[in-house]
Homo-oligomer: A and B are copies of this chain.
Amino acid sequence: MKLTPTEGMRDYLPSENSIRDRLMQQIREVYRASGFRAIETPAVESLENLENSDGGDNLKLIYRLEKRGQKLEKAIEAGDFAHLCDLGLRYDLTLPLSRYYACHKNELETPFKCIQIGRVYRAERPQKGRLREFVQCDIDILGSDSMDCEVELISVTAEALLAVGIDEFRVRVNHRNLLRNLIIWCGFPAEASDTVCVTVDKADKIGFDGVRAELIDKGFSEEASDKLIGILTGDLRLETLAAYGCAEEAALLSDLLAKTNALADGKYEIIFDATLVRGQGYYTGTVFEIECPAFGGTVAGGGRYDNLIGKFCGETVPAVGFSIGFERIFSVLSERGSAAGGKERIALFYDEGQIAEAIRYARTLHGEYDVSLIKKKKKVGKQLAQAEAQGYQYAEFLETRERKPLGVN
């Protein structure tokens, strides 16, 4: 039997769980206060849906579930190794949400503002800080193409980060069509814009020299490549972008920046970044990311995906979402010694044969305290030391009702 958790996945101790619980609760509260409502979808999706979801590199990381019963027997009889699986674990919350909305839209309000907080799964190569089971906290607005949605999502997500104690972050925004138009303006063929984007997306890892080399390596002209790099590394302001065939998107982003920066009250900043790509293929318009240097990079990401729901119901439904990567926030905040939530805890010591009395007395304390019943041993000193080490604020003895504070309390 294997003692450790599944590789790349984690157990959480009670002290860690208290922090996680509080963080999720705080994030959920901010979302709810702004009228977003929580839904739940299964962690298991049909493999067909997952594989046709335009999820970019994430599609390579899907955990696949083997068929069961006769279906499995048939596939094995046919020697059909490629079709032994029919289900998979969700790699994000956006794809299940798109299916959900297409399935239930007649029962939902329009536009539909929703929260999903849940576990997702990616079979990543093991590396520091990359979990294979992790929690995402998403808000989405479905059924509206208004840029008001972006204003609201950015503002509310930023509020959630502030609520859990994260500051000093920046929101970077871009528009898929802006980068696309710029690429075409530089002389790349229109159908090549996706692959050019993939290379540009690597700028923070390989530098712009690396981007140039890769573009030329991919067979694009030096002229187009130099033009693009020149613009991206130059003084790229929204006001000057009209010259490159991006007037419409530049105007939209200018308006978005003005409104969101006004709402930020100087606590954080929203900036334009023409090099922001975001990996998922399903994005169609604005894309955004929140970067926080103290958290080692990106803590949230999102964008508009106007074509994903249509894949399910045949009718185009505009949609936009923002997702907080919970694990990165949790790991930094727990290292900082973030406070757990909850009531003060009493270790209530009782004697052999007194369990019923102990339970009855503990009930009278439950309004104010969490009370753990511990049967007294001969060496109660050792038990008291353990209670203190486990973070109880008080020890109390049932027999005498004597209560004493523990530790630094």
Which residues of A are interface residues toward B (Cβ below 8 A)?
1-6, 9-14, 17-18, 20-21, 32-46, 48-49, 52, 63-66, 68, 76, 81, 84-85, 87, 89, 99-100, 102-104, 107-111, 113-114, 119, 121, 123, 132-133, 144, 146, 148, 151-152, 155, 259, 262-263, 311-313, 342-343, 345, 347-348, 355-356, 359-360, 362, 366, 369-375, 386-387, 390
Contacts and interface: CB of A to CB of B under 8 A. Distances in A.
Contacts of A4: 103
Please give the count of copies of this chain that the complex contains.
Answer: 2
Contact of A42 (B3, B10, B371, B390): B10
Given A13-B107, A39-B14, A360-B263, A371 B34 contact: yes
Contact of A386 (B18, B109, B359): B109
Given A103-B4, A152-B373, A39 B13 contact: yes
Contacts of A34: 362, 366, 370-373
Given A103-B11, A110-B386, A311-B1, A81 B87 contact: no
Q: Lowest 4 CB-CB distances: which A-B pairs, in order?
A: A35-B372, A14-B37, A9-B42, A33-B366
Contact of A342 (B32, B64, B107, B343): B32
Contacts of A64: 65-66
A384 to B, nearest CB: 12
Q: Which of A41, A144, A345, A386 has the most CB of B within 10 A?
A: A41
10 contacts: A2-B99, A3-B313, A5-B103, A6-B42, A12-B41, A13-B104, A35-B347, A76-B81, A151-B356, A152-B355
Contacts of A375: 144, 146, 148
A84 B76 CA distance: 11
Given A44-B9, A87-B6, A355 B151 contact: yes
Contacts of A132: 44
Nearest to A65: B63
A259 B355 contact: yes
* Interface of A (DSSP majority class): mixed
A11 B291 CA distance: 32
B68 A123 contact: yes
Nearest to A311: B1
A262 B373 CA distance: 18
B12 A312 contact: no
Contacts of A44: 6, 9, 63, 89, 121, 132-133
Nearest to A355: B148
B104 A11 contact: yes
A285 to B, nearest CB: 17
B1 A52 contact: yes
B133 A263 contact: no
A259 B358 CA distance: 11
B99 A3 contact: yes
